[in-house]
Chain A
Amino acid sequence: MNDQGTFWLPPAHSTVAAETDALFYFIYWISVLLFVGVVAATLFFFIRYRRRKSPDYTINPHNNTLEITWTVIPTILVFVVFIWGFRGYINLSIAPKDALEIKVTAQKWFWSFDYPAGATTVNELVVPVGKPVKLLASSQDVIHCFYVPEFRVKRDVLPNRYTILWFEATAVGDYQIFCAEYCGTKHSEMLAKVRVVTDVEYNAWLDANANIGAGLAPEEFGAKLYTGKACVTCHSVDGKPGTGPTFLGVFGHEVQLADGSKIVVDENYVRESILQPQAKVVAGYQPVMPTFQGILKDREIDALIAYIKTLKK
């Protein structure tokens, strides 16, 4: 593990970084070799064959063996690079099942982080060392991009969907978070820190911060919103169909839509149904639900999703 950083790369402090760095240096040395080869040959020919009476016209300008050689060898090399890069990417894309889930919200020009236990922070992400952390990110306005160089992770944060990014920090310390997608005036100042702490410190921090604000876990907050925002009028939580389908046991399961297709109820579907209720109506129900666009904040939608997740059969 590269703890100090090299000439090229910053210190590597996540489990995925070593793999990325190894590929980086593999490409790097191939590149150095090819570059030196091309430039050295050019310079050598410049000197050796500097204008003279006549070039050697006996050289055949067609040589299929040579052409095939310098086509096939690079092709094999880039194929190796492709496979290697793809494996790393899949690794970066699929979060471990037991990952700690934290909600990230980006907006001009700051980051906020919501923890399952109710803690919320701005521009400071506190995570335990040695535990996989899954970030569920969305934006309130334009596209932003969450980037931690020391972890070798980066993901765009979009206004209309959740994007997922995960990492497992391998060393305690403070690491820089950058916004990597241009987002306007203070793009350069949309900075935050990841504070990686020990398990014990993390739990203590979580306890100390959980009571901030409403002091509710998202699902509890969601339960309040369920009655407070009048979802209860049409959606039951005990399995009885109302004006709309029940919330009981729907999350993670497939439902039949009015147009005959099927969809699995996930975060994006619930969110879409709240913001654009007519987009995908469940079969057997009228398209009568009003949009909650502008009524529910993202945090509240998240809380409702968390609440619906708890309603298992």
Chain B
Amino acid sequence: MSTAVFAERNYLNEPAGLKAWLLTLDHKRIGVMYLCAIMFMFMLGGFFATLVRLELLTPKQDWFEADTYNQLFTLHGAIMVFLFIIPSIPAAIGNFVLPLMIGAKDVAFPRLNLASWYIYVLGAFVGIYSMISGAVDTGWTFYTPYSTTTNTSVVSMTLAVFILGFSSIFTGLNFIVTVHKLRAPGMTWFKMPLMIWGLYATALIQVLATPVLAITLVLLMLERLWGIGIFDPAMGGDPVLFQHFFWFYSHPAVYIMILPGMAIISELVATFSHKNIFGYKFVGFSSLAIALIGFLVWGHHMFTSGQSELSSMIFSFLTFFVGIPSGIKVFNWVATMYKGSISLKAPMLWVFSFLFLFTIGGLTGIFLGALSVDVHLHDTYFVVAHFHYVMMGGTVMALMGGLHYWWPKIWGRMYNEFWAVISWALVLVGFNMTFFTQFILGTRGMPRRYYSYLDQFQPLHGFSSVGSWILGLGFIIMGVYLIHAIFKGRPAGANPWGGLTFEWKTSSPPPHHNFDAAPIAVHGPYDYDKVKAESTFFDYAAGREVPRKETVNQ
């Protein structure tokens, strides 16, 4: 542990000053600024979620009026989707680690990167303005004709999402160019860490799908402001057209949310098994397969909408094929651990949560892809549980794993492992209590978006609400020890986990220009067998060559 030092000269303190931060072009600082923003949004969205669960504790209306409840679940959904999950891993963690992992000094377009953050902040402010000026009650899906007729500030909320889309496009564009042009010498496509494959596939979707959402939202705004009659049947429009447009973006958006999560899991599984990832190419290409097939399945949100049986058949068929690459990834991750040397540090515990929850999330997707079963389950709590297992059980668990993995790199200091385990356990238990019950509610016929419900559903709803408190407690504890670590944590050293990817070859926190000596890719990102022979590496913080085992915290 003697080499575990804190790099005194780092991107966090030079150049110093608030102005230097606000005008920074450093991808690491922008990543940190994004991280602060999305964590704030996660808190806000989580707060609304606990209010929703509070109302659902009993069958009758007791805490909130029906309209207030409708606004709460809309705020929860819109904040979590547009302000939290979509930017979470790519814009916060991706911004920080992507250039480091490919051995670059920064992203290709640093100014565009900063612009993306400011656009995000602008979108967030417009979104918060709509909450204050008259909360929106359409659900995060803005279905017409309800959204064109409701008397709430749909236009400003829509504008907020429209603005946020540009921040997403900017990040995606930046990542694509960065991956193509700025890889370190020797880093061929198949020597890239799988995190990069995942972020690259995500960026493709961000760039290709987000404009469709923007167009859809503009049409919605025009419809509300001037009554152009695209979606409103009273003016000769078609409300189902909106659903097609909306899901044409929002289904690929599901993969914008989950692909970066899968990318993180690939890194964690390899690093904490100290073993080459099993089936590198299959894991990498499955990300691209998901990104591409993901564009062709939007109609599976509309099996009961009155779209033609032929459409439903095609969308159901394609939906099953987008599930296969996810399965391939899970099998490869599990196979990677076989005969590995597994360390159960906090990030790996989150990998367990991911595998446990995402597998349930993925498998329950099969129920919803099967046409006749979907007819029964559509728009019930089964769907709510399913996407929470995928979005939260998948993406958020991976995000938490990634945060714990890179926290020492970002801040140069370690968090408290004991509290990390406590928080992990609370979240896993609380999550399953909250959402597994919702599968049962759904199969028994409880529809979504009800603020009051039939008495027969009370025990399950009650259990779910109690679970949400445990879940919330787990995250509050995490917030406390992670923030504590920034200021009081013990120095982490350059490579606390013994990782092989480039970000571990520089000091923690990294210097402003990332690397003191430009890294060269000699071996693959997970070639633990080949690196074993050269079991030392240059610790830039210590300023000398150190044996690997010295910095692996056991």
Contact = CB atoms under 8 A, between A and B. Distances in A.
> Does A pair with B?
yes
Interface of A: 5, 7-10, 16, 19-20, 23-24, 27-28, 30-31, 34-35, 38-39, 41-42, 45-46, 49-57, 59, 61-63, 66-67, 70-71, 74-75, 78-79, 81-82, 84-93, 141-143, 145, 147, 149-150, 152-156, 158-161, 163, 176, 178-189, 276, 279, 293
Given A57-B532, A156-B305, A85 B373 contact: yes
B375 A35 contact: no
B117 interface: no
B328 A67 contact: yes
A59 B306 contact: no
B139 A182 contact: yes
B333 to A, nearest CB: 9
Nearest to A57: B529
A8 B443 contact: yes
Contact of A35 (B360, B371, B378): B360
Nearest to B453: A188
Given A20-B375, A38-B334, A153-B376, 19 more contacts: A24-B373, A24-B443, A27-B363, A27-B367, A31-B364, A71-B328, A78-B369, A89-B313, A89-B372, A152-B375, A155-B306, A158-B240, A160-B237, A181-B379, A182-B448, A182-B449, A184-B137, A188-B451, A293-B234
B320 A50 contact: no
B338 A49 contact: yes
Given A34-B363, A42-B355, A67-B279, A81 B342 contact: no
Interface secondary structure of B, over-half rule: helix
A61 B327 contact: no
A207 to B, nearest CB: 33
B95 to A, nearest CB: 29
Interface string B254-291: 00000000000000000001111111111000000000
B330 interface: yes
Nearest to A34: B363
Contacts of A276: 236
Nearest to B237: A160
B447 interface: yes
Nearest to B138: A182
A70 B445 contact: no
Nearest to A73: B327
Interface in B11-42: none
Contact of B316 (A74, A82, A185): A82
Given A81-B369, A82-B370, A180 B275 contact: no
A129 B237 CA distance: 39
Interface of B: 66-67, 70, 137, 139, 143, 145-146, 149-150, 233-234, 236-240, 273-282, 303-306, 309, 312-313, 316-317, 320-321, 323-324, 327-328, 330-332, 334-344, 352, 355-356, 359-360, 363-364, 366-367, 369-376, 378-380, 440, 443-445, 447-454, 528-529, 532, 554
B335 A183 contact: no
30 contacts: A8-B440, A31-B363, A34-B363, A38-B359, A45-B334, A45-B338, A46-B344, A49-B341, A50-B342, A51-B344, A51-B554, A52-B341, A57-B529, A61-B276, A66-B279, A74-B324, A81-B366, A82-B316, A88-B373, A89-B309, A89-B371, A149-B376, A154-B376, A158-B305, A176-B445, A178-B445, A182-B448, A185-B67, A186-B66, A188-B451
B152 to A, nearest CB: 10
A86 B145 contact: no
A182 B532 contact: no
Given A8-B443, A55-B528, A86-B313, A91 B369 contact: no
Contacts of B344: 46, 50-51
B452 A86 contact: no
> Which of B273, B363, B447, B528 gathers the greatest number of chain A CB atoms within 10 Å?
B447
A170 to B, nearest CB: 16
A55 B303 contact: no
A9 B306 contact: no
A75 B324 contact: yes
Contacts of B341: 49, 51-55
Given A23-B370, A158-B240, A188-B66, A9 B337 contact: no
A187 B453 CA distance: 11
Given A71-B324, A185-B70, A142 B145 contact: yes
Contact of A180 (B146, B380, B532): B380
Given A27-B367, A161-B306, A55 B143 contact: no
Contacts of A153: 375-376
A148 B366 CA distance: 22
B373 A20 contact: yes
Nearest to B529: A57
Nearest to A25: B373
A94 B94 CA distance: 49
A91 B373 CA distance: 12
Contacts of A16: 372
A89 B443 contact: no
A298 to B, nearest CB: 12
A42 B334 contact: yes
Contact of A159 (B150, B233, B443): B233
Contacts of B352: 42, 46
Contacts of A154: 304, 375-376, 378-379
> Which of B306, B335, B370 gathers the greatest number of chain A CB atoms within 10 Å?
B370
Given A10-B445, A46-B337, A154-B378, A163 B306 contact: yes
A28 B312 CA distance: 22
Nearest to A148: B445
A102 B11 CA distance: 71
> Which of B67, B276, B528 gathers the greatest number of chain A CB atoms within 10 Å?
B276
A7 B306 contact: no
A91 B343 CA distance: 52
Nearest to B272: A51
Contacts of B379: 145, 147, 154, 180-181
B342 A143 contact: no
> Which of B304, B364, B379, B448 gathers the greatest number of chain A CB atoms within 10 Å?
B304
> Which of B137, B369, B372, B452 gathers the greatest number of chain A CB atoms within 10 Å?
B372
A153 B373 CA distance: 10
A259 B528 CA distance: 71
B136 to A, nearest CB: 12
A231 B238 CA distance: 27
Nearest to B146: A142
B529 A85 contact: no
Nearest to A161: B306
B324 to A, nearest CB: 6
Nearest to B344: A46
A82 B453 CA distance: 33
